[in-house]
A and B are shown apart, each in its own frame.
Chain A
Amino acid sequence: MVDTRPFLPVSSHAGSDPTGPSENRRKPMKLQLSIFFVLLTVGFFAALLTSNNGSDNGFVKENEHGSLASPSSEKQLRPVSRGPAVGVSEKSNRLFAKDNENQLAYPWNNSMLSWQRTAFHFQPEKNWMNDPNGPLFYKGWYHFFYQYNPHAAVWGDIVWGHAVSKDLIHWLHLPLAMVADQWYDKNGVWTGSATILPDGKVVMLYTGSTTENVQVQNLAYPADHSDPLLINWVKYSGNPVLVPPPGILDKDFRDPTTAWLTSEGKWRITIGSKINKTGIALVYDTKDFINYELLDGVLHAVPGTGMWECVDFFPVSKTEENGLDTSVNGPSVKHVVKASLDDDRHDYYSIGTYHEKNGTWIPDEPKIDVGIGLRYDYGIYYAAKTFYDQNKNRRVLWGWIGESDSEAADMQKGWASVQSIPRTILFDKKTGTHLLQWPVEEIESLRLKSYEFNQVKVQAGSVVPLDVGPATQLDIIAEFEIDKEALEKTTGSNVTFSCSSSGGTIERGALGPFGLLVLADDSLSEQTPVYFYIAKGSDGKLKTFFCNDQSRSSVASDVNKRIYGNLVPVLEGEKLSLRVLVDHSIVESFAQGGRTVITSRVYPTKAIYGAAKLFLFNNATEASVSASLRIWQMNSAFIRPYPNNKESQ
């Protein structure tokens, strides 16, 4: 049954002025207006200096990850408040945010915190995790290693955790693979990658932080190649095999990639670094993984991008729907360079051409070069790494999903971070500029009961509940069609839109926002919209944005409330399509088959357990939409220690 309640009775402008004119003013109009403009200017400067996104931390200026920026680096400024809508109080230059009726200072109880643990995303039993390391498929098992702190729920004392799975979904924890027991990794057993040799043997290259805090590269290999679980690892006695070359600083040299073969039969790797503010990828050739020659020049460099962490380099097929071994090259192949930018904690990729002879790579479109163009994911997603899965002939992507709550909550709940569901990566033939990411098909083995909704009409300004039973573990596939007449009739404008600087879903446009409300309670006091926003330019051209709005995801004040998202290319004839995985405190959303992806962490205080619900919503002013969905309840993956682990040392 369609609920035609208006969504929220708010203004249709982004940012109503804080001192709106009132009929009761006695002062003459002119004086009133000039006072108003003075106040507005003062307010603008005050806002520049203090709050920026009207979030609860009034005096804390937050950038995208809830972290603080000095005024000079602040990118998104909101000179006018978003108006007194639900959950957004009037903040100007108050130093300490207080007493917003929708704020809870410290609501976290064990029930809320234990709900946050995911059911089918990889995470260790407790403590801190970050980068994925050395993923590979070996003797029937998928292996996953990861940066792990065995002592606390914050980063530190890093070693390599290890787990195995038959299907990338059901994981079994194994003992730590490598610990900080050598001078060359005493201060950190950091990120690395695996290479499978032609004879099937595995070598691992990883970064160690030495006793002198120098970043070096080390070689390790399985103690017993006949052990399919690869429990024990040996570090090469002659480590380190690489130290920072001349011109590269001790702390700018880390995260070696999987190696690929050159036409001369040598192995080639790349390692991210920087020179001044230019992010670079160094290239080394080796025959034995012990002795290396540094190539002149770099694989690629992009000025202004800063340190390149977790560089990844891999081929994609322009024509086939399968993955390619890292060594594959040829005319129907493009190469992707990816870097994690230390400066902004985002993962960027670019598609281009690899020139094997001199070990360089050129982007197809310099405007969307590495670090300045496309991101794997517009939410919380970092340190991603792919591997070639020779078992199923696909390239699989792992990504670290950190927390966006306070460390106090992390320490209380005893853990921090999860991994994304592994995703297949394919070249998007239709756009030619994007990669497509999609959760590995094995996740479908978790699907339980399904619900189908056909052509549900959602009028402008309304919310429709979707009755799917418990709504904290879901796989949602949806298609949206927007009223064609409204698309044509709407007048375009020059106003630019961006998810992160918009007012979220309370900012109504003619053709958006509309989509899903996940992890929402009945009264919608907490809600996480995942949605489309169509903007029409003055030239009549349509641009579609895909966003995830956390501003009302929780009434707690110490969680990230940002709005994530980006443009998503929608081609002629394509319906708007969406896939959402909801798994307690993580939401992974894929638009247009994975052309634009957003992962977010959500920490509701009320929309948890049985109180979490799912809704369709349409907060556009002029267009109705109709939605067709298939929604599955998802089982747990029962991630647990490997049974009868007699191998634990």
Chain B
Amino acid sequence: MTDSKYFTTTKKGEIFELKAELNSDKKEKKKEAVKKVIASMTVGKDVSALFPDVVNCMQTDNLELKKLVYLYLMNYAKSQPDMAIMAVNTFVKDCEDPNPLIRALAVRTMGCIRVDKITEYLCEPLRKCLKDEDPYVRKTAAVCVAKLHDINAQLVEDQGFLDTLKDLISDSNPMVVANAVAALSEIAESHPNSNLLDLNPQSINKLLTALNECTEWGQIFILDCLANYTPRDDRESQSICERVTPRLSHANSAVVLSAVKVLMKFMEMLPKDLDYYGTLLKKLAPPLVTLLSAEPELQYVALRNINLIVQKRPEILKHEMKVFFVKYNDPIYVKLEKLDIMIRLASQANIAQVLAELKEYATEVDVDFVRKAVRAIGRCAIKVEQSAERCVSTLLDLIQTKVNYVVQEAIVVIKDIFRKYPNKYESVIATLCENLDSLDEPEARAAMIWIVGEYAERIDNADELLESFLEGFHDESTQVQLQLLTAIVKLFLKKPTETQELVQQVLSLATQDSDNPDLRDRGYIYWRLLSTDPVAAKEVVLAEKPLISEETDLIEPTLLDELICHIGTLASVYHKPPNAFVEGSRGVQHKRLPPRTGSNESPESPELAQPAAAQPADQPPAVIPSQGDLLGDLLNLDLGPPTSGGTPAITSAMQMGAMDLLGGGLDSLLGGDLGGSPAIGAGSRSCSYAVLPQCPSRGWSRDLFDLGSGVGMPAGSYVVPKTVWLPAMKAKGLEISGTFARRMGTIQMDVTFTNKAMQIMTDFAIQFNRNSFGLSPAAPLQLATPLSPNQTIEVSLPLSTVGPVMKMDPLNNLQVAVKNNIDVFYFSSLYPINILFVEDGKMERQVFLATWKDIPSDNEAQFQIKDCHLNSDAVSNKLQSNNIFTIAKRNVEGQDMLYQSMKLTNGIWILAELRIQPGSPNFTLSLKCRAPEISQFVLQSYEAMLKN
């Protein structure tokens, strides 16, 4: 007889019948009734009405029955808190039962009854169970502390359970240790400041010993906990690594990945010239490869993590290309991830094999996979120059298949290849033009238009081709419209005589008939350029384009480091920091890799001397997101106030800011937009995958929420004196003067309103136009009283940087509208860029070095700051109070070199090198930033701060 019979009860008067049976004298009948109740519960029927009757059955010596009653209790206690009290006595009694199985069952269930009133009654039994002689009870009690903490943290602390839990880490039984570690980690995670896991060399040693003895799951808890520890020096780091490496041979994939996490993190501290470092690298490859023979879901987690590991330490898997070849029966999510890793590992040594595989994949039938394979071929061409020709001919073969989506995808990547190798493969243009009619995806259309515009002088009928797109101009997507506008302007500049009409047409379409501000603005700029100075127009529009990078969708280094600390977790699968998808983790510290502490490195790192000189070969690869990539993203973003669900609004607003500066504006005006290549994978999968764009989003939450932690604003940040923004004569008697300041991490606009008119002014309101950094009022403008004639009122308006973003000229221009009962007035003001320097702009030294090297030297700007009579320490202090942080200071040939970093609210980093010759009032400032347009504004801020 099976249990399924319990699911078939009579419908009529069911509850009533059950009630009778539950109160029956016969034990057997009682038990049958409880089973029926549980069966009903299982299929989702509400049997909470039976609560008192079921609880009455609790006092039984039948273990199976007791378990069922407990199960019922866990489910319904919350809905019947008053009656749940009835159960307390039994719990207390069961916790003293001679049978450890019952004691453990009671303590396990107790914690699952999330009723506040009951909790305090459970403290005494729990205290006893934590000291129980039976390890099975102790390990269950350890977990119960975490449960109780989740319900009432204060109670747990007051009762001293946390200390008892900490003591259990030294328990003689490995399972108890493992559960205590798990419980403590869980509690610590929700209370980051509790300093519960006070890890020190002694406790680490205990954990490492327990690691050898506990179950596979216990090993994972311990390894995950170890990963939070930062060893004191490279020797301790090595000794921990030595004791963790055997775990790589564990049969459970999760144990292996957690061990990989510890090793990847602690390796960071080992000097690279150490023999052991090389040994460790070699040991990591085989277990990572073996993970690919696990179940597909585990393979998927492994692949997502390998993607990170390959970016962090490419040398580990560089010889393992073949294991990532796709098999016919791999699930689609495994196929796509493998493809991603294949591209990352592609090099001159293996490119022939890779290409042969990619060609094979491109003729499969799975659309997404095929598309990605075609893109991969394009990436190979750009990454490995020697293979470019073969890639192009492969792509042409694929175009001949006439499979619509293959053709479109191929055209998109060929555009990238043109951009990377200009004037080399234009012989294929004719073939591409044949397929013009079959392009129906915006990205492919835009790519084709870019190609026509770029090579307009060699395509005889370029004007006809472009004109054909113009007919349905307003039905095209923005991406295509923008591209068409630029392409026609290019064509005009190349063949002015025949195309005047065409360019007129497109300019008027863009400026007069379109309500898209981006398109309109670009149209106006071209128009003015062309009408005022055609020579300048030519220089701007046909200027040489910046190179596109070899690698796309690389993860920004600080984020990558953070994700490495989360190997094996959801964050590593999403490639997002945990605070992007976990609620209530905003105050949680970002995990970081430990700094390298090689004994040969003095505080004045010798490497700082030649920031641009050769770095060790295995530095993280360059992360210059290709420009068009970002633009593409920008265009697809909704420019309205971000309200989307996925990532927090703050993050997305910041990304917009960053992208606008990096990829929008200038570069796209240069006609270079779309020249980059869209991130492979990004955007092609709608859900969960969305790779966060490269802009660093860490730090944001900290500078909002971590003010108390000491990085806050020391007094003395520089504020420009107020200037008159709006003279009274222009504003019907209202004079507005003001300035900007950054105080305690908040940007403030200090405004003075003066009424120079004869009548009272009321109903003030303020609004900003979209601006480069998304500045917007964080609160409505409030003047306490109406402004009487000759009265002056001063207001400090807090600003946020989450408003809509639009690139302004100059960059720091802010257009403001102020309204009162009389009229609306407009004025613009320039804010000093230093109000955007955030409090956590201090870069890690290693990151600084790598970033300095990554940023191309073209982006470096050098300035002289004259007449400044400060010594380097005073300079440092002064700048520090304005959030310009000195990372290192060196003395070279009598000159002081200060290496400094600052970060803007939108996550853009600016690196600086300030050279001070003692005795000389002239300083040399070198600035490097991925958005070099900012440099001159930073210089202005430096000058203002140092001279005031």
Partners in one complex: no
Q: Which residues of B contact A (CB under 8 A)?
A: none
Q: Which residues of A contact B (CB under 8 A)?
A: none
